[in-house]
Every structure is written in structure tokens, then in C-alpha cells.
Amino acid sequence: MAYKNFILVCGGTACESSHSEEIYRNLIKEAEALGVSHDVQVVKTGCFGFCEKGPIVKVLPSESFYVEVKPEDAHEIIAEQVVKGREVTRLLYRKDKKSDTAKLEDIEFYQKQFRIVCVTAASSTRKASTSTLHATATRRSRKPSSR
Ligand code: FES
């Protein structure tokens, strides 16, 4: 099965304390309710490192980076992003209220980081999915500067 979208939900401690587990479950429920569970895989991840803006939800392949997500936002994320292919602009990260939205690599906090994704897949279906995630993460990563 080839998914069209991957929704990464931060499962780190800070985001979990702000209900990311409920966000994760709601996203899966909404995908089933709206009949698109075959189009999207919801994945729990480790900490994105941006805990102050959590819970964090990232959507691939659009690279939509949602911050301060609430469990009740799950319906809108599935209905807009997965069903209609549109970002939920009110949830996108902004440096301040006046600035444009930013993708993860545009956020100053991440610009000097080199992110590594380690994947261990159990089944061939899962291998295909995680390979896609790994390729995306690798493509977006920057090499550390040598000092
Ligand atoms: S725990 Fe979610 S960004 Fe750190």
C-alpha cells in the first residue's frame, strides 16, 4: 500500500504531556471516519526538539509544520490536508503573528542542526513507508558545519 501522506505526531515527553497521544488517536479515527485511512499513515515520532511549540505535527510530503496542535484539530487536519490537499494555515509555525509561515528548515532553531533518522522496519509494507520518510528526512537535512 502506498500512502499519499504521512502525518508525524511528536511522541516526546513534552508533547505527550500536552495530549499528543490523543492527537495521534484522533487523527487515525478521523482518517477512518472520512474514508481516507488508505491514503495516510499516522506515525508517532520522537522529540522534534522544538518542545516549546508542542505538540508538533508534521505532514509529508507537503512538509507542513504544525505547532501547538490540539486533539480537536485532528478533524481539520485530515479533512483539509488529506482530503482536500490544503494546509491548515492557522496551525503552521510563524516566528511571530506578522510573519509568513515557515517550513521546518526555515526555522532558525533548526538551521544549525543536522537531523538523523534511524529506521528499523519489521515488514515489507512498513519498509516502503519508512524508506520514504527516511529519504525525505535525509533530503531535508543539512550537513553539520565543520569547525
Ligand atoms: S517533545 Fe515534542 S518537540 Fe519535544
Task: Compute, in angstroms, the gap from residue 73 CA to the centroid of ligand 1.
Answer: 18
Ligand 1 pocket, 47 CB below 6 A?
A: yes
C-alpha cell at 21: 497521544
CA–CA distance, 45 with 84 (Å, rounded to integer): 25
C-alpha cell at 73: 484539530
C-alpha closest to that of 127 among 20, 41, 9, 30: 41
Pairing, β 57-60 against β 5-10? antiparallel
Task: Compute, in angstroms, the gap from residue 37 CA to the centroid of ligand 1.
Answer: 25
* Domain edges within the chain: 5-103
Report pLDDT for 95: 74
Give per-residue pLDDT as tens, 62-119: 999 999 999 999 999 999 999 999 999 999 998 766 677 777 777 777 777 776 766 6
Query: How distant is the alpha carbon of residue 103 from its chain centre?
Result: 11
Give per-residue pLDDT as tens, 51-61: 999 999 999 99
* Superfamily (CATH H level) for 5-103: Glutaredoxin (3.40.30.10)
